[in-house]
Amino acid sequence: MRFWDVYNRGEWGRTAGWSFKLAVVVLLLVAGYGPVAAQQDPMFTQYMNNILSINPAYASVGTSLEFNALSRNQWVGIEGAPVTNSLSVMQPLKRLSTGLGINFMSDKIGPVKQTSLFIDYSYKIRVGYRSYLAFGLKGGVNFYNTDTGELAYNDEGDPVLSEDVIRRFLPNFGIGFFLYNEQLFAGLSVPKLVQNQINKTGYSTQYTSKEELHVFGMLGYVWELNRDLKFKPYALVKVVPNVPVSVDLSAHFLFYDRLWLGANWRVGDAVGATAQFFITEQLKLGYAYDVTASDLNSFNKGTHEILVNFVLNRGRRRFISPRYF
């Protein structure tokens, strides 16, 4: 019987506080005690400013050295709720039609902590007038730790929770494709192809889990409504085995090439709003706020996300503006 079948019937939800429930959900879904699969990779509302973390092909799309920092506090008010921080750096090499990237990410949810570092390589070819198809490779490592001492539980003698789960070295690699021109973009990627096992030494395989494959697809378009107003709808689809498909839909307006305003809908999960402002042509600050659309809304104060984007523009002419994608 799957964990969510038990939970949805209320057999477990009636007897535990939300902070404890979240911790156990985290332990079961992420650490993998038992035959449960879940979306393990962190998510961002402003993922368009963090594409490199899920698609290595994006490293060659820009025209200048670019830095992106994102900090996300999810479900504020719930003890042990997810906190994720990400830093990415991209350097396109236009003469070689290639690009390099580095992505660092720290993610904590309940007793589970993950820290990852990946390096990206991308090569692009022209497929039409100002249209390109980029191919990308990603390689790196994830450091994983579960501290069961942070949990409060009734059965002190449970062998499943008696020791921490520590995997300090989980190497992985991924691939990605990104098709784009001045207005259209589409991407497909699998950032982690190796299904690393996460288990406790000395216990049977029923307590063994693995890093599940995550397939990401995205599509978007930029309409120039007039000289001072542009409209960008886009979508992200995430597919994980044995888990319902996740769909993120967004619609944003760009005013005077300075201010992005828009709304986001993570189908069945959350709705939110985003604002991003160019302090200068090189520096952009962003903020997103999500409201949970499920029953969890009664137990949290929303999700906050802060973005800092900096582009070191050395060229005189920009072919693809990072203001669009």
CA–CA dist 288, 95 (Å, integer): 36
What is the rounded distance in angstroms from the CA atom of residue 138 to the CA atom of residue 217?
16
Write the DSSP string, 50-100: -GGGT-GGGGGTSSSEEEEEEEEE-STTSTT--EEEEEEEEEEEGGGTEEE
Residue 251 CB-half CA count within 13 A: 2
- Give the predicted TM-score (pTM) of the model: 0.80
Q: Which two tokens stand for residue 286?
A: 């962003």
**What is the b/e burial string over 253-285, where b = at least 16 CB atoms within 10 angstroms of the residue's CB?**
ebeeeeebebebbbeeebebebebebeeeeebe
Query: Among candidates 94, 97, 93, 113, which has minimal Cα distance to 105?
Result: 113
Which residue ranges make up each domain of the chain? 54-153+167-311
Q: What is the pLDDT of residues 234-256, one digit of tens each?
A: 999 999 988 899 999 999 999 99
Query: In this structure, how many other beta carbons lie within 10 angstroms of the beta carbon of residue 128?
Result: 9
Specify the DSSP class assigned to residue 30: I
From 156, 153, 172, 273, select the one nearest 214 (Cα to Cα). Answer: 172
Residue ranges of the alpha helices (H) in the chain?
A: 3-8, 18-26
Residues with Cβ within 8 Å of 18's Cβ and at least 6 positions away in sequence, in order, are: 78, 299
**144, β-bridge pairs:** 114, 167
What is the b/e burial string over 133-161, where b = at least 16 CB atoms within 10 angstroms of the residue's CB? bbbbbbebebebbbebebbeeeeeeeebb
Residue 295 CB contacts under 8 Å (≥ 6 apart), including other chains: none
pLDDT at 69: 97
Q: Answer yes or no: are the C-beta atoms of 282 and 263 closer than 8 Å.
A: no
Helix, strand, coil percent values for the chain (each to nearest 5) = 15, 50, 35
**To which CATH superfamily is domain 54-153+167-311 assigned?**
monomeric porin ompg (2.40.160.40)
* C-alpha span between 115 and 113 (Å, rounded): 7
Please state, in angstroms and rounded to a whole number, the distance separating the CA atoms of residues 254 and 324.
Answer: 9
pLDDT (tens place) for every residue of the chain, 325 residues total: 233 333 333 333 333 343 334 433 333 333 333 333 445 677 899 999 889 999 999 999 988 899 999 999 988 888 888 899 999 999 999 888 999 999 999 999 888 888 999 999 999 999 998 899 999 999 999 988 877 655 555 555 555 555 556 666 889 999 999 999 989 999 999 999 998 877 655 444 444 567 889 999 999 999 999 989 999 999 999 999 888 999 999 999 999 989 999 999 999 889 999 999 999 888 999 999 999 887 777 778 889 999 999 998 755 544 444 458 8
Q: Is residue 293 classed as helix, strand or coil in its secondary structure?
A: coil
In angstroms, the first-to-last Cα distance of the chain is 43
Integer Cα distance of 304 and 296 in angstroms: 16
Amino acid of residue 118: F
Q: Which residues contact 291 (CB under 8 A, 6 or more apart)?
A: 270, 271, 272, 297, 302, 303
